[in-house]
Chain A
Amino acid sequence: MTQPTHLNCKDCVDRLGDFVDRELSTEEVAAVERHLEECFGCAREFRFEGAVLESIKVTLRRVQAPASLLEKIRRSLDS
């Protein structure tokens, strides 16, 4: 992606996914953040998107391997 210094709303939303995933370059992060400081609508959209993704992560990650699993694996490695 090109490295603009000034983004419009479409440019900014195009970078939404990479921004929330911390996959943008430092320069692009700065350009997105500048836009978000100036644009209430985009800032609200980004906050909403970030909160949705975080909530999905938290919900799906509510799981822990059964305590017996490591022991089962150890036994199968020994056999």
Chain B
Amino acid sequence: MAKASGNSTGEFERQLTKVLDQAYGTALRLTGTAADAEDLVQDAALLAHRGFPGFQAGSNFRAWFYRILLNRFYSNYRRQRRAGVSVDLDETPELYLYQQAAASGVTPDSDTATALVDRLDSELVQRALDALPEEFRTVATLYFMQDLPYQEIADMLDVPIGTVRSRLHRARRMLQKALWEVAAERGIVGAP
């Protein structure tokens, strides 16, 4: 297969520009601060640019770039989980928020689901995401920040698709529990 050629830097910038907003958003959710997110994306871009001559033209630039970004995150930007919600996440059942909403007397329909999350701003949703163990937080971040098929997430993380499926399903249940606890802590819903 052909390697990236021609005006390599120009082509690199064209490809990078297409994924930059999403990459920055993902970096922000992973690192937790705008400064670290910028540094992470910039570092990843430099590394990617260096490796771009070896990039297979026509293959998936986004997946390739994200692999570099995630490796850089793991090696240099991995952070302590911020203090805040601590949730026992092991046995969170399916449909946790639905059950909690129903148990608290709320009619659990799509309007109340939207209203509940809308009352939590992105900082509070981020706090709930931060409560997840790292391997679940990473897969959940990739999932929520982009509409990717499991296979593409598996390619980015270099794990089997079955691992993505099981981590993501558990991560979503954990996140629902963490969201409910954040909402309860802020008095948005009844205490757990």
Contacts and interface: CB of A to CB of B under 8 A. Distances in A.
B172 interface: yes
B70 interface: no
Given A73-B16, A77-B46, A55 B38 contact: no
- The size bracket of the interface on A is 35 or more
A59 to B, nearest CB: 5
B13 interface: yes
B9 A53 contact: no
Contacts, number: 122
A31 B17 CA distance: 41
Nearest to A23: B150
Contacts of A17: 165, 168-169, 172
Most-contacted residue by chain B among A45, A64, A72, A77 (CB, 10 A) = A77
Interface in A1-44: 13, 16-18, 21-23, 44
In the complex, the 4 A-B pairs of residues with the closest C-beta atoms, listed nearest first? A55-B117, A65-B24, A51-B113, A51-B110
